[in-house]
A = this chain, B = another copy of it.
C-alpha cells in the first residue's frame, strides 16, 4: 500500500491553498493504481502540516509514502526544510518507507509545458 503526498509551501491566501488541493484532486483522478491514497500537505501557513500529512497517510494503513514537492525552485525549503521533515518522519516511523521525489522545478517537460501555455 503506497501513498503520494504533494507538499506545497502554503499561503495566507486560502485560494492558493485550494489550488494545491485542486491539483491534488487532478492527480488523484489520473491515478494509475500506483497509489492507494493521494493527498497534500503544507510546509507552513496551511493545514495539514507535512508531519501531520505523513501521519495521516500512515493512519490509512499504507507502509510507503512518496513526498512530492510542488516547488519550482531548489531553495532552502526544497533543499533543507522538507528533507529534514522527511528524515524526522523516518526516525518516527521506522517501519514505513518514506521517499522524497524530485521537486516540480526539475521536471524536464516543464519547458514544453510553458511553451504550450502560449497557445491559448
Interface size classification for chain A: 35 or more
A101 to B113 Cα, complex, angstroms: 12
**Given A27-B111, A72-B104, A104-B117, 19 extra CB contacts under 8 A:** A13-B75, A15-B74, A16-B74, A16-B75, A19-B73, A19-B105, A27-B114, A30-B115, A34-B118, A66-B118, A68-B114, A68-B118, A70-B114, A101-B117, A102-B120, A103-B117, A107-B113, A107-B117, A109-B113
A33 to chain B, nearest CB (A): 11
Could you mark each residue 78-120 of chain A with 1 if its beta carbon is under 8 Å from any beta carbon of chain B, else 0? 0000000000000000000000011111110111111111101
Q: Is A6 an interface residue (CB 8 A)?
A: yes
A106 adjacent to B111 (CB under 8 Å): no
Number of chain copies forming the complex:
2
- CB neighbours of A27 from chain B (8 A): 111, 114-115
B105 adjacent to A118 (CB under 8 Å): no
A68 to chain B, nearest CB (A): 6
Q: Contact partner of A102 among B74, B115, B117, CB < 8 A?
A: B117
A29 to B112 Cα, complex, angstroms: 10
